[in-house]
Structure 1
């Protein structure tokens, strides 16, 4: 069976790495990797391939930048050529980025099976491009592999055929389990004279948080308040940095006491920083999952999350993105030892990808 696995943005590399390891255990599968180019520079791409032990992609579309529509359209045009040439039996897409939607659409129109890994997640907010992507991908996919039980409920409410839905666990956690020992050996935080569990980590990249001067100003107030409590390590996403420079905030940020600004980190380096932190402030979906697995408190600057299991049972707190005082209140609560009890979500055990490969083999290879 010929399979093409699609990668676009950083989180895709983490998920596809686990799937690639699982599928290539079986001689019945021939797996090829396609990189759309959505994240393409070394800091956002090449280092992830190396650290996750992925080979170079078999196909690269080199599509990046532009509006959501332009990006999706150019990926569709490029991927169509690959499909017509390769005629795979199956296309695997992960998550909710434009690359996943674009390639799923082309495959569906060419009557090629679409597998969606991390299906059924919903924030309930269609202003998020990712929410639109998730819904569309799920409704054109042949098999839907979900990471938490709330996703099953979501898919049932949208009248998705139950036989397509498979609860397998979280492939993001598979890569974390696979890489954790190597990440622990790095001790990145020690380069800055810090002790384990004595600093905060922040990541921020969503348009709702970084695309307006008002939001960035509020974010800087949060950074200043956090730095007054503990040192703060802030790996800065290219989009965030560009906007900080555009609005004349970047230089002021660099002068804050207790703030350590870093470029985007490799996968292992970032896991090392998060695992040893006291808490994380983020707007990333994947970081909500990683912190829950690692048992690190996470404060999410969003009005909603498509990963409710990280709040209901995990270490995540939803603080909104307009009232920065609310986020600091949660920080102080955690520092005072009043963090909630957490538990590991069901089937977040490092074997989700193996379950997926086994299910696909049993259903499609006779």
Structure 2
């Protein structure tokens, strides 16, 4: 029996945790063959070398696509995407997959969609139909219109994709694979490693075991990229003044990430904070274990909206990056203001009314995705019916 060749393109560090359990399920499914392409910032050391984690987890990588253009501004994003279209077109031509998967909404993911759709390869979009801020909003819905099959993560997202004119029979709520990982962590939440000893990073040793700790993950907003440095400095001052042991993670490769990065470096050199330790990356399992044992997550990462809602971790969500995204009762939204951020962190640390939410799935998404991919009719053309 011929297996369906499913080509998955992972372009960035967060995309891997969004698809990891589905990769495993596809690899193990008797009717499917996994083709894995790693591209973009997932290959770059300064963004954490996600490719090393992927290989360590036992996945065979069929192709690596280097496509990130220096600059970290809107023009560099556009050119990176253009390079991605050119390179991925060749990859798909050579691999000859039966279907291609593009993940979520990062700016470069539309390169996967264009390269597949223009070559009449069935395109599957994971996590369409959600609402968010910055360029991701446009990219996510553009991916939806280029895609033939939609594996969404929530009921609201399903309704939204259908309203966009997609065939309801090809819009399926599988939940988000990242919740599968969160479920594993929730069942075994023991923090059995020392983050500093295992991952190194930069900063002082923290008394995190005795005092507890918070986690910060703040990315630039591509439509507000000029404010990235100013925004991160406000958060840095707030966290430093509180004095709570803090694990801080490096930003994604988006327009403005040079501003975020330079803000961190400048603050580190001038203020020499004694309560903050900085990391580039962690394995998904370790990162979620760190989160579930934390007092609070601060920043604007979607992990606060998705995994933390399931884990019941308090979140202080900053700014507009997750604008209007469906969320649980674990999230407190605030603007970039040092005193407001400090107050919000203290509020969330003491919040005893947070419950676990299954908005984005119940922890079995990877298997559901593989089963759908094995059986659903594959098509590469469609016509709007309204």
Local SS of the residue matching 1:261: strand
Task: List runs of 5+ in structure 2 lacking aligned partners.
Answer: 71-75, 198-204, 379-386
Whether 2:281 is the aligned partner of 1:297: answer no
Q: Which of 279, 293, 297 does residue 280 from structure 1 map onto?
A: 297
Whether 2:23 is the aligned partner of 1:20: answer yes
Local SS of the residue matching 1:38: helix
Deviations 1:182-205 (A, max 9, x none): 974325379733237722111112
Separation (CA, whole Å) in 2 of partners of 1:331 and 1:349? 28
RMSD after superposition? 2.8
Q: Which of 46, 50, 53 does residue 48 from structure 1 map onto?
A: 53
Determine the structure 2 residue equivalent to 1:9.
Answer: 12
Separation (CA, whole Å) in 1 of partners of 2:215 and 2:334? 16
Q: Which of 179, 195, 206 does residue 188 from structure 1 map onto?
A: 195
* Higher RCO, 1 vs 2 (CA within 8 Å, ≥6 residues apart): 2
In the TM superposition, structure 1's runs of 4+ consecutive aligned residues that sit over 6 Å from their partners are none
Determine the structure 2 residue equivalent to 1:359.
Answer: 372
Compared with structure 1, are the counterparts of its residues 225 and 159 closer, same or farther at alpha carbon in structure 2 (3 Å cutoff)?
farther
Whether 2:360 is the aligned partner of 1:343: answer no
Local SS of the residue matching 1:34: strand
Separation (CA, whole Å) in 1 of partners of 2:290 and 2:324? 22
Q: Which of 238, 252, 264 does residue 222 from structure 1 map onto?
A: 238
Q: Which of 268, 274, 281 does residue 250 from structure 1 map onto?
A: 268
Local SS of the residue matching 1:35: strand
TM-score scaled by structure 2? 0.82
Structure 2 counterparts to residues 115-194 of structure 1, below 5 A: 115-123=124-132, 125=133, 128-178=134-184, 181=188, 184-188=191-195, 192-194=206-208
Count how many residue pairs are aligned between Structure 1 and Structure 2: 353
Kept in 2, the 8 Å contact 1:210–1:216? The answer is: no
Kept in 2, the 8 Å contact 1:274–1:280? The answer is: yes
Determine the structure 1 residue equivalent to 2:212.
Answer: 198
Kept in 2, the 8 Å contact 1:10–1:48? The answer is: no
Cα drift, residue 81 of structure 1: 0.9
Separation (CA, whole Å) in 1 of partners of 2:15 and 2:9? 8
Determine the structure 1 residue equivalent to 2:200.
Answer: none
Q: Which of 105, 114, 120 does residue 123 from structure 2 map onto?
A: 114
Separation (CA, whole Å) in 1 of partners of 2:176 and 2:210? 27
Compared with structure 1, are the counterparts of its residues 177 and 360 closer, same or farther at alpha carbon in structure 2 (3 Å cutoff)?
same
Task: List runs of 5+ in structure 1 lacking aligned partners.
Answer: none
Determine the structure 2 residue equivalent to 1:68.
Answer: 77
Local SS of the residue matching 1:173: helix
